[in-house]
Amino acid sequence: MKRLEQTWRWYGPEDPVSLQDIKQAGATGIVTALHHIPHGEIWPSDEIAKRKEIIEEAGFRWSVVESVPVHEAIKTRSEHAAHYIENYRQTLKNLAENGIKTVCYNFMPVLDWTRTQLDLELKDGSKALYFNWIDLAVFDLFMLKRKNAEADYTDSVRKEAKERFENYTKEQLNQLQTNILMGIPGEKNIEVEELNKSIELYSTIGAEGLRQNLLYFLQSIADICEDYGISMTIHPDDPPYPILGLPRIAGNLEDFKYIIRGVDKKFNGICFCTGSLGAGKAEQLAQMFSELKDRVYFIHLRNVQKDAHGNFYEADHLDGDVNMYEVMKVIVAENQKRETAIPFRPDHGHQMLDDLQKTTNPGYSAIGRLRGLAELRGLELGILGK
C-alpha cells in the first residue's frame, strides 16, 4: 500500500525550525521558497540550486515550492502585468530545470491568510491562531476606516466592535493591526495606506474580474508548465469568504470547478487545504476532495473549530469541525491510484511546550506541527490497515 509523502514547510536557513529538527519529526520532503527574493523578481537558477543542495545534503527532497508569489500587477492585470508574467515564466523554467516541478500559489488580493489573534490560549495552555469577526470589524470600521464598510456588518457586530474599540488600549489596537496586516510569514507586511488603495482598486475589478485575471495568468504560463511538466496548485482563500471589501474566488467547490474548466489542462491543479476550506463548509470536505481529486497535487491538513458566529480557531489536527478521518480515507484511496505519492504537510500547529518560550513564525512552530504530523501519520496507517 502506497503511503502519502510526508513533507514540512521550512522558511529557509533563517527559520528557527532547522532541517535537523524536521528530520527528527520524520518528514522526508521539504516545502519551501526563496523568501529573500522580492515578489515579482526572477528566481535565479543558481539560487534555486543552492537551496536544493542544502535540502538534499540534509537528506530531504525539495518536494514542493510554496510559494512563487503572484505579483499584484498580475492579479490586477495592470500595465506591468506582462513583465511580471514573463518573470514568473522564467522562474518556473528555472525551477523545473532544477527538478522542482510542483508549485503552490494563491490568488488572494493583497493579504495572504488573515487572523485577528496569533496567540489564543487554549485550555491546555497551548496557543493557536484565531479569527474573530468583532476584532476584524474593529480594524475595518475604526482603524482602516474603509469606505462603506458598515454595510458588511450587522448592527450587533458594529455595536460590539465600537465598544471593543473604545476599550482596547493603544497597545492592543497596534497588535490587532499587526496581526491582520501580517502578510506572509517570512516575506513582507502590508501597510494600511497600501491596503486602502488596493481595496479601492479591487472594488472596480470585482470577483468576476479577479477570476478572469486568474485565467489570464494561467493561460500565460500554460505552455511553460506543459513543456516542463510543472504542476501548479492554487491554495484556497483563507478565510474562504470576502473580508475587508476584497473579493475571494477560491473558497468552495464551485470556485475550483470554475478554475479547472477555465483552463482545462492537466497542469492546472489545486492545493487541498482542509484548514482554509474548513472555515467554510467543513462537513463537505470529503465530498469536495472526491470531486476534485484528479487535480489535487498537494495537500495541507489542519483543523478548525468554529462557533455560532463564524469565529474560528485552529484546533488540534484530529479534533475540530473537519472530519479528518473521512477526509483522510478519500485521500488515501486516491493516493493508491497515483504513480507518485501525493505530498502533504501538517499545516500550522499550536505553539506548545518549549516553543512557548521561543519566537517562531505564527502557526509554524516545531512541536505543534510534530504532534500534527504524528497524528496524521497514525491516522493514515490505521486506514491502510498497518
Instruction: Write out the catalytic residue numbers.
Output: 235, 273, 300, 347-348, 364
Cis peptide before 290 (omega within 30 of 0): no
Q: What does the alpha-carbon distance between residue 354 and residue 364 come to, in Å, rounded to a whole number?
A: 14
Half-sphere exposure of 53 (CA within 13 A, CB side): 6
Per the CB < 8 A criterion, the answer to whether 276 and 237 are in contact is yes
> Which set of grid coordinates corresponds to residue 100?
522542482
Q: What does the alpha-carbon distance between residue 180 and residue 113 come to, in Å, rounded to a whole number?
A: 9
> Which set of grid coordinates corresponds to residue 157?
457586530
Q: What are phi and psi of 191, to 5 degrees?
A: -100, 155
DSSP state of 38: P
Per the CB < 8 A criterion, the answer to whether 311 and 132 are in contact is yes
> Which set of grid coordinates corresponds to residue 60?
530531504
Q: What does the alpha-carbon distance between residue 17 and residue 114 come to, in Å, rounded to a whole number?
A: 22
Sign of the CA dihedral with 384 first, then 276, 94, and 257 last: positive
The amino acid at 52: K
Q: What does the alpha-carbon distance between residue 101 and residue 87 come to, in Å, rounded to a whole number?
A: 17
